[in-house]
Structure 1
Amino acid sequence: MQKKQSVFQLLPILLGFFIMGFVDVVGIATNYVKKDFQLSDAVANLLPMAVFLWFLIFSIPIGMLMNKIGRKKTVLLSMLITVVALLIPMIAYSLPVVLIAFALLGIGNTIIQVSLNPLLTNIITGEKLTSTLTLGQFVKAIASFLGPVIAAFCANTFGNWQLLFIVFAVVTILSALWLWVTYIPKEEAVAVVSTFGESFALLGDKTIFLFFIGILTLVGIDVGLNITAPRLMMERAGMALEDAGYATSLYFIFRTAGAFLGAIILSKMSAKKFYIGSSAAAILAIALLMSANSQSLLYTGIALAGFACANMFSIIFSYALKKLPSKSNEVSALMIMGVSGGALFPFLMGVMTDAMGGIQIGAVGIILICCVCQLFLALSVKE
């Protein structure tokens, strides 16, 4: 009976991981907004900045809030903000409104990223925790690759890609209601609360600083490819946006597959060797995207990139936690702040693309630099 109860407690939390994946819709949404309002790449790429900047600002404060109101209430707060963010573009559709909506989406996603994993530990502990977290990331990836598919379906069938927001809003409301009525054991009160000063002081440690840069550049690769992949398909293969958007789904499909295969390989191979191989594969994939002009080669590069980047986040995160186990809360908050790379690098990519007359080679070059940073970190890390 206890096992059955834990399953019912787990399901609404897993659905929360699906909502966590909504943040990845910013990739395809940026391209639709760029088309709708005839924006330059630099201006269009303010959308990812509006989403991911909040990871830098709110990660630590959200951890402090969670200690005060509890994990479940914090997750529910994130879902409420997410619903508001998703419904705003349906009420009024203009560039300022979209920027506000995506800012709220970023705030909501920051909150759920900080609070959902700890909430899972309220019902899952010990050896089962790692496998359950992997399952959660798989559920998150489903939302990531479904976003472009649903957007394309809504655009082709109803002539309005924004109906994607309605679909995601309904799922979020149902998830919030399910979690609200589900009993989740409360966590013990936290005596020590992380502060900005305590977390930022860790950057003085050279290794922690490199891990932070690793997360920063990895998310830059992830978000950058989400935005750039459809543009490459349109630029190099002459595809319409509705069809080119599937390139983002392809990236996440192979990212998901890579995560499961990586879990098997990492049980038999050292994390450092696997990290080096993944980084080298990522560089190869981006180099292919810089030169490819055919649809098949572009798809190959995108798929390889997704496969190569699938396990880097978990490897970097685990290395960081093992470096300073006594400061795990501060290290975790700092690594989550690194997700703000999704704001920084897409903006730089947009500026570079505009400077090169709208050609995507500049954006891909920024992604390549981020991949080289990953290889440097993989070679320098000590096990």
Structure 2
Amino acid sequence: MTNTQLKYAKLFPVMLCFFAMGFVDLVGIASNYVKEDLGLSDSEANIFPSLVFFWFLIFSVPTGMLMNRIGRKKTVLLSLVVTFLSLVLPMFGDSYGLMLCAFSLLGIGNALMQTSLNPLLSNIISGDRLASTLTFGQFVKAIASFLAPYLAMWGALQTIPTFGLGWRVLFPIYMIVAIFAILLLSATPITEEQPDKASSFADCLKLLGKPFILLSFLGIMCHVGIDVGTNTTAPKILMERIGMTLTEAGFATSLYFIFRTLGCFSGAFILRVVSSKAFFLISVICMVLAMIGLFAFDSRTIIYICIALIGFGNSNVFSIVFSQALLAMPNKKNEVSGLMIMGLFGGTVFPLFMGIASDAIGQNGAVAVMAAGVIYLLFYTLKIKH
């Protein structure tokens, strides 16, 4: 086997792990089904996505320290085992407590995976091809994201054998994929370089004293808040305004992820000829137009267009903000990386406020919370240097 063939043989199990990373996005459609099954309010149902992303605040930096102790591959394997356990629990029921436990484990597993999988990939692909391979990994991740609503819908409609699980059939399907990922990655030899010096919470938090790092951290929070918020709220908007059933409205979540995926791929090419600042502005303007449309119109077509605009506009925000933060402090990459991953905690903050706002004034309240995040990103555009 040639070196190139060997490299791609190692790449397949890692890409399967990227697919498993996308399991976290099932929380959006799943929280809507749990809300319907248990008769929850929006604020009660939005605890699920909030809980998933809460664990990024707790586990991102300790995961970096764990990688230095046991290695990246073992850390990814640990994340897959935790993810596997999170997918087993919903097969025993959908009680409120059980689902809270399942989504907590899903969040912990994903926090471990997000922090360790990208560095693991750098042990296989390096140099100029790393960025494009990471982009492909995000594409693979997005496949799992937009398949989740369809799997839940098929299960709810009983168009496939569900063994009494209904919409929860998506959990055993993804569980099987997680098992394959564990087995394949375990059997794949990957040589890792010597670990970096571990960062502590104190090292990371000190960087918030740097104005641009603080602005970037808040930018990551807004990006993830808008991402999780759209994932969770898009079906609710269609149900409230058009009168769709949850099964019909679930397409909105897939539409969002389809356009987010298209945005990732097109962004990889556009950023070769357009500056980060200019493309970031274009992306944010897409989201501004979407927010205006969601406030002003009740047409199904326009709502779909707005969801697609958010998906495209929000697709490259993370990569641009992340890279800008690293460029701002190239001698503190480890600490900056850990802090930016902690910013995924925005996926906890936004759904909580969106749930409270939508309970008070309907889904326009949830849109208003997302709009605040978009306005902040518009302000952040002014701080990007190139």
TM-score with structure 2 setting the length:
0.97
Tell me how large the CA RMSD over aligned residues is: 0.9
Q: Deviations over 1:175-200 (max 9, x none)?
A: 1100001111122133x210000000
Q: Is the 8 A contact 2:65 2:199 kept in 1?
A: yes
Corresponding residue number in structure 2 for 1:378: 381
Report the Cα offset of residue 91 of structure 1. 1.8
Q: Deviations over 1:78-106 (max 9, x none)?
A: 00000100111112321011001100000
Q: Deviations over 1:187-229 (max 9, x none)?
A: 2133x21000000000000000000000001100000000110
Are 1:308 and 2:313 an aligned pair?
yes
Q: In structure 2, which of residues 162, 167, 176 is the aligned counterpart of residue 170 of structure 1?
A: 176
Corresponding residue number in structure 2 for 1:198: 203
Are 1:180 and 2:186 an aligned pair?
yes
Are 1:101 and 2:102 an aligned pair?
yes
Cα distance in 2 for residues equivalent to 1:353 and 1:93: 24
Cα distance in 1 for residues equivalent to 2:295 and 2:19: 32
Q: Deviations over 1:329-348 (max 9, x none)?
A: 10000000000100110000
Cα distance in 2 for residues equivalent to 1:235 and 1:142: 27
Cα distance in 1 for residues equivalent to 2:94 and 2:238: 26
- Residue 331 of structure 2 aligns to a residue whose secondary structure is helix
1:189–1:255 distance in 2 versus 1, CA, 3 Å = closer
Cα distance in 1 for residues equivalent to 2:88 and 2:185: 21
Q: Deviations over 1:307-347 (max 9, x none)?
A: 11111110000000000011001000000000010011000
Cα distance in 2 for residues equivalent to 1:320 and 1:229: 30
Corresponding residue number in structure 1 for 2:88: 87
Cα distance in 2 for residues equivalent to 1:15 and 1:286: 34
Q: Is the 8 A contact 1:198 1:330 kept in 2?
A: yes
Corresponding residue number in structure 1 for 2:371: 368
Corresponding residue number in structure 1 for 2:111: 110
Unaligned stretches of 5+ residues in structure 1: none
Q: In structure 2, which of residues 348, 357, 360 is the aligned counterpart of residue 352 of structure 1?
A: 357
Q: Is the 8 A contact 2:132 2:268 kept in 1?
A: no
Q: Is the 8 A contact 2:234 2:252 kept in 1?
A: yes
Q: Is the 8 A contact 1:70 1:187 kept in 2?
A: no
Cα distance in 2 for residues equivalent to 1:293 and 1:303: 15
Unaligned stretches of 5+ residues in structure 2: none
Report the Cα offset of residue 381 of structure 1. 2.1
Cα distance in 2 for residues equivalent to 1:340 and 1:36: 27
Cα distance in 1 for residues equivalent to 2:94 and 2:255: 28
Cα distance in 2 for residues equivalent to 1:19 and 1:322: 30
Corresponding residue number in structure 2 for 1:31: 32
Deviates more, 1:227-236 or 1:85-94: 85-94
Report the Cα offset of residue 131 of structure 1. 0.8
Q: Is the 8 A contact 2:22 2:145 kept in 1?
A: yes
Cα distance in 2 for residues equivalent to 1:56 and 1:22: 19
Q: In structure 1, which of residues 214, 234, 255 is the aligned counterpart of residue 239 of structure 2?
A: 234
